[in-house]
Structure 1
Amino acid sequence: MYQLCCFPARLAVETTLLAHKTPRFNTNKSSTTSLQVINRMTLFTLFVVLCCVSVITSETCLGQKEISLISTIESTLNTLKNSLKGKSAECPSGWKEYKKHCYYTSPGITTWYEAEKLCKQKGGYLAQITDSAEDAWVANMLRRAVQHRHGYWMGAENFTDGKWRWINDSSKVQYTHWNLYEPSNSGGVEHCAHFWRYANYRWNDTHCTQGGIGYLCEKIK
């Protein structure tokens, strides 16, 4: 807008100056006509300049308001950023945290199928163990939790092709910590895995409706 406004103003000023420098005729009529032209150009120039000053002033004020608003927003964001520095979302009440994941140990027992549904209702999934460090942390947590007779369900199953997978994302189970001679698939019906209390929470396979087993839910923090 500044350029659009100042260009005609500059043009008007230059035209007026040129008119003043133009030689006048000696006749009274010519002098009068020339003076009228110059006066009109001067008035036009003054009008354009005043209009431009008004527009530029308006834009300048608007810009100052915008700058002030932006400054306020930046200040608020910086304050919020500083208050959140080093903090992250907390696990829900009753859940334990480990490396940006939350874990929930059930107070009651149920089947593997029902456990999967209950974990989903809580916004998570049956625990998916990916390495020895996580497994050791979970086992230590389970030792301090409610001591269900046969331990806690995890998310490993082998329903489809006999290969163990995680129910959460159907990925193959890579890390394992099976108890000695497990998985055995005794009777050809043991398709669900659990942390076995009697084996110090090493893994065991059993039929998916086995009694005396709680469940361990997991979700990303």
Structure 2
Amino acid sequence: MKFFIVFAILITIYKTKTTSLLTGTLAQNTTVLINEKQEIKEIDVLRQIINQETIIRLALVKDVKAVVDDMDSLKTRIASSETAVKSLNENVTNIHKDLNNNSKRTCEKEGVNYQGNCYYFSTSIASFKDAMGACHLIDAEMVELQNAKEEKWLDLQFRLRGYQTHVWLGASDVQQEGKFISVSNAEELQYIHWVKGQPDNIRGIEHCATYWIRRKGMNDAPCHNKYNYVCKTNIL
């Protein structure tokens, strides 16, 4: 009887240990599986990150290549533009030469060339406004006295052409009484040689400058008067 009791106790102990071992093994296996799943999950996350970085890098490489291509294209266009500008400048230079040559030929036929300027002397009289308009039609300005040498030369030309009284000069004080300025650039005159007592603005209506042939100097006169005039343009 005692033998059976001892045997039963041994069986119970064996079952208990076996169960404990199985439970421990199962728990250990479960832990391993959990860890493996966690590692797999982390690997998947890492793989996704790597994939995203790869995509970003590829996109950056593509963008950089596009920028480089754009820069190369821009350099090509700039080089082409520089060539076009150079060609245009050469054309403009040639046009200027042609215009100057034409101006010189025209001046030889219709005007007088003096010190790099062409002077067109009128054959009729006109008001100051009409004289200014006539000069603009031939791309010129009303003559202004630049120095004593030019004044002396012009005085001779006036007398040779039989001009009798006055010749319009490109100056007026219509904006401010007593302050004669150039009608070509609205600046003060570079050279003045008024006849003694001039300008006198008689009756308050003398606002345009003339060259007074008889007295050899500048004078002010009513702008509506009609005198000869001279148009001047640079042909250098």
TM-score (norm 1): 0.53
- C-alpha change, 1:52 and 1:105, in structure 2 (3 Å) is farther
- C-alpha change, 1:74 and 1:147, in structure 2 (3 Å) is farther
Q: Select 2:163's aligned residue among 133, 143, 149.
A: 149
Q: Select 2:130's aligned residue among 104, 114, 129.
A: 114
Whether the 8 Å contact between 2:211 and 2:219 is mirrored in structure 1 is yes
- C-alpha change, 1:56 and 1:128, in structure 2 (3 Å) is farther
User: What is the aligned partner in structure 2 of residue 62 from structure 1?
Assistant: 66
Shift of 1:64: 1.5
| 1:53 matched to 2:61 | no
Shift of 1:76: 3.6
Amino acid paired to 2:150:
A
| 1:192 matched to 2:208 | yes
Q: Select 2:37's aligned residue among 20, 33, 37.
A: 33
Amino acid paired to 1:136:
E
Whether the 8 Å contact between 1:107 and 1:214 is mirrored in structure 2 is yes
Amino acid paired to 1:149:
Y
User: What is the aligned partner in structure 2 of residue 216 from structure 1?
Assistant: 231
Query: Where do residues 159-170 of structure 1 align in structure 2 (5 Å cutoff)?
Result: 159=174, 163-166=178-181, 168=183
- C-alpha change, 1:76 and 1:138, in structure 2 (3 Å) is farther
Cα distance in 2 between the residues matched to 1:127 and 1:164? 18
Whether the 8 Å contact between 1:164 and 1:173 is mirrored in structure 2 is no
Cα distance in 2 between the residues matched to 1:137 and 1:71? 56
RMSD: 5.1
Cα distance in 2 between the residues matched to 1:106 and 1:94? 16
Whether the 8 Å contact between 2:140 and 2:231 is mirrored in structure 1 is no
Cα distance in 2 between the residues matched to 1:177 and 1:197? 12
User: What is the aligned partner in structure 1 of residue 150 from structure 2?
Assistant: 136
Cα distance in 2 between the residues matched to 1:56 and 1:73? 25
Shift of 1:74: 3.1
Unaligned runs of 5+ in 2: 1-27, 108-116
Query: Which structure's residues are more often helix, by fraction?
Result: 2
User: What is the aligned partner in structure 1 of residue 89 from structure 2?
Assistant: 84
Whether the 8 Å contact between 2:210 and 2:218 is mirrored in structure 1 is yes
Identity of aligned residues (%): 14
Q: Which moved more, 1:36-45 or 1:83-92?
A: 83-92
Cα distance in 1 between the residues matched to 2:134 and 2:77? 43
Amino acid paired to 1:68:
D
- C-alpha change, 1:173 and 1:107, in structure 2 (3 Å) is closer
Shift of 1:111: 1.1
TM-score (norm 2): 0.51
Shift of 1:68: 1.6
- Matched residues, number: 184
Unaligned runs of 5+ in 1: 1-24, 97-101
Q: Which moved more, 1:54-63 or 1:114-123?
A: 114-123
- C-alpha change, 1:210 and 1:36, in structure 2 (3 Å) is same
Shift of 1:155: 2.4
